[in-house]
């Protein structure tokens, strides 16, 4: 009996060992299959690794463009270019080609790849709130995932990247989109982030943010006052100041020179700042940044909207509501009517 019992224990132990071996080999396999499914799903494409980029590349191939707006998520949420088209009776499309986290260098790259006549080009500008020497450089793997595939990287932009400490921006150029994505250490976190963002933030219109060419506003639901106060406390110092970085100035000089060469009417919109942020801010630093921008580009090329929206017209600490976007867009349309040589109409 004792011998039988020992045999049974040994057999059971052997079966358990076989079971664990199977689990050891099968778990990575199932995980790999699950991740492959995630990569090919629409959820993963929301991250901007390919979706928004493909939309922008396609937009630049349109036959008749009236104008484009460039910038980051504040422009995505804050500018509705259908208002511009309607108000200006444009004879071509005015596209909002902004994207989440779009850097100045990325905006220049999009502009450099315009191969159709465009008479108006605008750039939404927000000033930095960290001294340039303390600013943390954005890792190259973050930059590389946005606006490279499908664009021609000219020598001019290459040199500009070097001048503005953006050489890492071009390090992935020449590789396939898939290679660049795999090279990013944020690859896995981006997938997980998108998946959880869809579940936890149903208020975000992520599909609209990826595909819409006129008002790609992903932020839709106004946060409570309590949550907004927490955001402001977390994202801004106790007495925030504004900084106009040397790299921004260099990019704007290029923006000005290239558009003057082509005869386009170029303009910069200084995006609204939430009054709640301004309550403790160094107001003189913001005024200084605005004045420096006007000196650099010329007063006629700058539309300062930094103090034009009430706190109620912000969804959170920095993104305008839909009503706020209508206000901003009407102001841009009025500005173009008064300042554009074509009176806001397409000159081509």
Q: For 190-207, how does the pLDDT look when each residue is reduced to its tens digit (9 = 90+)?
A: 555 566 566 656 667 777
Confidence of residue 315 (pLDDT cuts 50, 70, 90): very high
pLDDT the model gives residue 198: 62
Tell me, yes or no, if the pTM score tops 0.85.
no
pLDDT the model gives residue 48: 42
3-state secondary structure of 68: strand
pLDDT tens for each residue of 121-153: 999 999 988 876 555 444 444 444 444 556 777
Are the CB atoms for 244 and 293 separated by under 8 Å?
Answer: yes
Question: Which of these, 311, 304, 290, lies nearest to 339 by C-alpha position?
Answer: 304
The arithmetic mean of pLDDT across residues 268-275, rounded, is 97
Are the CB atoms for 65 and 116 separated by under 8 Å?
Answer: yes
Q: Report how far apart the first and last C-alpha atoms of the chain are (Å, whole number).
A: 99
| Residues 6 or more apart in contact with residue 145 via CB below 8 angstroms | 47, 48, 49, 180, 181, 184, 186, 190
């Amino acid at each position: 009996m004792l011998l039988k019992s020992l045999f049974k224990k040994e057999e059971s132990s052997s079966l358990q060992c076989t079971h664990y071996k199977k689990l050891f080999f099968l778990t990575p396999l199932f995980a790999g299959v699950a991740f492959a499914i995630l990569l090919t799903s629409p959820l993963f494409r929301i991250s901007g690794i390919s979706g928004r980029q493909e939309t922008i590349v396609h937009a630049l191939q349109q036959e008749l463009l009236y104008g484009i707006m460039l910038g980051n998520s504040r422009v995505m949420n804050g500018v509705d270019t259908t208002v511009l088209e309607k108000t200006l009776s444009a004879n071509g499309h005015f596209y909002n080609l902004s994207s989440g986290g779009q850097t100045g260098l990325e905006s220049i790259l999009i502009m450099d790849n315009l191969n159709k006549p465009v008479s108006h080009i605008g750039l939404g500008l927000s000033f930095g709130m960290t001294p340039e020497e303390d600013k943390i450089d954005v890792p190259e793997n973050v930059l590389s995932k946005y606006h490279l595939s499908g664009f021609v990287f000219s020598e001019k932009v290459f040199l500009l990247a070097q001048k503005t400490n953006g050489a890492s921006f071009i390090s992935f150029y020449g590789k396939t989109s898939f290679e660049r994505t795999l090279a990013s250490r944020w690859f896995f976190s981006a997938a997980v982030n998108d998946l959880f963002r869809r579940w936890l933030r149903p208020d975000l219109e992520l599909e609209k943010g990826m595909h819409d060419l006129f008002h790609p506003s992903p932020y839709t639901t106004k946060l409570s006052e309590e949550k907004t106060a927490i955001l402001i406390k977390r994202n801004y110092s106790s007495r925030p100041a504004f900084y106009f970085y040397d790299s921004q100035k260099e990019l704007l000089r290029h923006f000005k020179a290239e558009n003057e060469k082509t005869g386009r009417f170029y303009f910069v919109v200084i995006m609204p700042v939430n009054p709640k942020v301004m309550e403790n801010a160094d107001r003189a630093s913001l005024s200084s940044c605005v004045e420096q921008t006007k000196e650099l580009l010329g007063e006629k090329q700058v539309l300062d909207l930094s103090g034009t929206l009430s706190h109620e017209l912000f969804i959170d600490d920095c993104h305008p509501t839909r009503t706020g976007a209508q206000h901003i867009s009407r102001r841009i349309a009025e500005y173009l009517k008064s300042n554009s040589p074509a009176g806001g109409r397409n000159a081509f």
